[in-house]
Structure 1
Amino acid sequence: MVRFFPDKLKEYVCKILQNVGLSQEDSKVVADSLVGANLRGVDSHGVTRLPIYVKRLKLGVVNPKPNVKILEESDATLLIDGDNGMGQIVGKKAIELGLEKARKNGAVFIGVKHSNHFGTGAFFVQMGVKKDMITYAMSNAPSTMAPWGGIKPYIGTNPFAFGVPAGKYNPIILDMATSVVARGKIITAAREGKEIPLGWAIDKEGKPTTDAKAALDGSVLPFGGPKGYAISLMIDIMSGVLTGAGFGPYVNNIYGDFDKPQNVGHFFQLIDISRFMPVEKFKQRVDQMIEEIKSSPKAHGVDEIYLPGEIEFNNEKKRRVEGIFLTKEVYEDIKAVGEEVGVNIEEYLYVDKSIGKNVVPDS
């Protein structure tokens, strides 16, 4: 394990992305998304994604300076062309355009095409929640999940996120994949040579497996069986079919299709709370729900009942103080990427001045 403080890790990611063509402003957006995921404990969507982002930028299959523009709009809708930009950059622009329209008209639906992997949905949801908007974000992804009852992948682990602001408490933020587990966690397990729990995936013959590499050759499983499959399908229809982006097997693989854009689609919704009731009254009502849930009777062996996103907020609070610990494998991967583009990772490491070296936890 190797330790970084968040701001230094962001600086390192920014410098690398600038050296492969991103502007200073855009590199900060992507770095905020990646390091933000690590802070929240969602390491599968953190800086472990940096090598593949850089590879695709260097190969020219991602546009480092996209002209994100509105193709169609009405009072309540936006259709946005991401110009093959990085998903975080495209998604942030979409939210910014949507906030303006939602404030004016009460709500907005935003479709996005010609984009790429956008990281965590919570990254975008928090943008809207901070502006007192109920916010919904979803995206499609390359086909890695078979339709329920099948064995050949057709749809993605299509994620969705939902957020509402609270008053004196943290906002409630749901962010999840429609698979039992995000495929990024299986990728991480394969890279580290670890097994995965039974029930996460099947191999290419449709048999349950604990072998992470066999799982990557097979199919991840939807959460809730046919329910997760159905929700993933609907997300693909909204993000891909409706927007004009790729859908199903027509979303290209970030890790395999190095000669063509991904053409990922996203779909966002922003709702102005003040069109229903005063914002402060809404927040008080959410606070009431939080307090009643937290104080409700607990099952045997349960120490605390959590709200969606609460564990991630706790992780972030802790990691901002103690730092972010990366596994040796992830560290070596992002170190190599830096070397490729002339950035020395040693300059960004946390060093304990009392002992003159990076601190490695016992675990």
Structure 2
Amino acid sequence: MSETVTLSLEEALLLCREAAMRAGAGEATAEALARASVDAERDGQATVGIGHLIDYLESLEAGRIDGTVEPELSRPAGAIILSDAKGGSAHLGFDRAFDDLAQTARQFGVAVFSQNNAFTCGSLGYFVGRLAEADLVGFAATNGPALLAGSGATKPVYCTNPLAFAAPVEGGAPLVIDQASSATAFVNVRKAAQEGRDIPEGWALDAEGRPTTDAKAAVKGALLAFGGVRGANIALMVEVLAAGISGANWSLDAPGFTSGSQSPGSGLFVLALDPKLIDPDFSTRLAAQLDRLSGTYGVHIPGLAKAAAREKAERSGIAIDKEIYKRIAGWGQ
């Protein structure tokens, strides 16, 4: 069992923020990347948590993330906010637009944030979760470099193309659904390859298009969609929302996010909705429905495990792998 280092949330934020700045990020980008990484770790999503910050640090140094650029925001219509990330992080544009996005949703009932030319965003649930904390319903979609075979294909044509949804629940943790269109996230396959572990059948193809359980072969091949054709269709839907509407790179045209010096130019689509303008009792009714589903029918409710992990982290801090801590703490020194 690997050794760990336990940090308070503030200590973890400081660790990540300072490492990002040493890697070339300005204060705003360093704060955005640190916050997203620590929040994911706090919520029990270690694969896109503090360890994932290393991908951001390497990309800052290589130039795949412009750490000093300021996103360019525009308003082509009353309820639409556009962001050109200009090769920077996906998080900074959303941070800059968040208050306006929330206020616009409350004014019009609905608002859209659409961004292009960004690095990939890690945990997509981070974006909709913030909207739910502001008593809004959120839906998000994003893309990146091609990793996933489409329906009938044996070569990558889409990214893992996740979608996420969150809604406020009266007196409880928000409902948060965050899932990839692939059978699993790419970071899980990559981690298995690094650790020399096999992966389950149905997750991936090798470079010749053959089903494989060899994680190292899968990294060089293509991921498979969950649910076959249906999952691949969802990946295409996400591609249209995230890349097509925003003018971002299609996944087939996106440079990789682990090598080279070019931004993948990813897209991000976020829809914010104020449910109280439609049904003032929405969050109360949702709370009762989720209680019925989980209590009477034994349904797993996404978001509860994240809330429990968050409560524990706020009370006791977060334990991260000692080697990951040492790499981040020593970055650039």
Length-normalised TM-score, structure 2: 0.93
SS in 1 for 2:156: coil
Aligned to 2:279: 277
Residue identity matched to 2:308: N
Aligned to 1:110: 113
Distance 1:186 1:323 in 2: 28
Sequence identity (%): 25
After superposition, residues 111-130 of structure 1 pair within 5 angstroms as 111-130=114-133
Residue identity matched to 2:96: K
Q: Does 1:143 align with 2:116?
A: no
Q: Is the 8 A contact 2:150 2:158 kept in 1?
A: yes
Q: 1:237 aligned to 232, 236, 240, which one?
A: 240
Equivalent pairs, count: 330
1:269 positional shift: 0.3
Q: Is the 8 A contact 1:179 1:221 kept in 2?
A: yes
After superposition, residues 249-328 of structure 1 pair within 5 angstroms as 249-256=252-259, 258-278=260-280, 281-298=281-298, 305-327=299-321
Aligned to 1:21: 24
Distance 1:104 1:155 in 2: 35
Q: Is the 8 A contact 1:175 1:309 kept in 2?
A: no
Distance 1:43 1:132 in 2: 26
Distance 1:326 1:189 in 2: 18
Distance 1:297 1:267 in 2: 33
1:25 positional shift: 4.2
Aligned to 1:180: 183
1:72 positional shift: 4.5
Aligned to 1:168: 171
Greater CA drift, 32-41 or 145-154: 32-41
Greater CA drift, 101-110 or 137-146: 101-110
Q: Is the 8 A contact 1:178 1:231 kept in 2?
A: yes
SS in 1 for 2:116: strand
1:244 positional shift: 0.8
Q: Is the 8 A contact 2:5 2:325 kept in 1?
A: no
Distance 1:320 1:34 in 2: 15
1:334 positional shift: 5.0
Distance 1:103 1:65 in 2: 32
Distance 1:294 1:336 in 2: 41
Q: Extract structure 1 runs of 4+ deviating beyond 6 A.
A: none
Aligned to 1:101: 104
Q: Does 1:156 align with 2:165?
A: no
Q: Is the 8 A contact 1:95 1:124 kept in 2?
A: no
Aligned to 2:223: 220
Greater CA drift, 317-326 or 202-211: 317-326
Aligned to 1:65: 68
Q: 2:90 aligned to 63, 83, 87, which one?
A: 87
Aligned to 1:332: 323
Length-normalised TM-score, structure 1: 0.85
1:259 positional shift: 2.4
Greater CA drift, 94-103 or 215-224: 94-103
Q: Is the 8 A contact 1:3 1:323 kept in 2?
A: no
Distance 1:325 1:215 in 2: 30
1:282 positional shift: 1.3
Residue identity matched to 2:286: V
SS in 2 for 1:199: coil
Distance 1:295 1:71 in 2: 46
Please, what is the CA RMSD of the aligned residues? 1.8
Distance 1:21 1:96 in 2: 27
Distance 1:318 1:333 in 2: 21
Distance 1:215 1:225 in 2: 17
